[in-house]
Amino acid sequence: MSISNHQIIIDFKAISPKDGDLFRGRKPAEIAVELERAGVWGLSVVTEPKHFGGSLELLRDIANSVNLPIIRKDFISTEQDLHDTLEYGATHVLLICSMMDNIQELHNKSLELGLHPLVEVHTLEEMELAKSMGAQLIGINNKDITILEKDSGTVDLTVELIKAAPRDTFIISESGITNHLDAERAIAAGANAVLVGTAFWIGDFEI
């Protein structure tokens, strides 16, 4: 099985706590335009500043450069975060089960605002929570965000958790995608798309 670019989401994360500076002087907006031309499904933009070097300005620059689905990735916790997400140009927002105690409330509010919520899970219990919420977009994070993804998570987690995913739900396998074989394995297991970050920026995953 081969993977098409339309099944790929590229993650714009300025700094990896594990691998350091990822952009390395490259201009994110210009890369975004190139990726749109290559036919990727969409882009995600990490806006968290302390650990990942992101910003809302980075989100706005990328959103203004392309006409693609844009996922804002951050530790979203308030309704104001949702309004900011829309204001700066994202079409989707990441809601992380392990980091939120009001995820149902913000999931519903996102839908009211016309913002697509992507519910992120890392355990079977979180998958069950996403199902109970009626999530239509679920991201399986192969790494553990509670330790800033410094672990060596692999696609094995996607292969396991996707068995418990609700039918007719769009599933994204996130993180730990180190090469095309990983991506193909996730898609073969039933994922609709894969989110690739570090491997793209350091040159191991070509589009």
4-61: pLDDT as tens digits: 999 999 999 999 888 899 999 999 999 999 999 999 999 999 999 999 999 999 999 9
SS3 label, residue 96: strand
Q: Which two tokens stand for residue 93?
A: 């927002």
Q: Which domains does the chain have, with CATH numbers?
A: 5-201 (3.20.20.70)
Residue percentage of the chain with pLDDT more than 70: 97
What is the reported pTM? 0.94
56: left (phi over 0), alpha (psi -120 to 50) or beta: alpha
Between strands 8-12 and 170-174, the pairing is unpaired
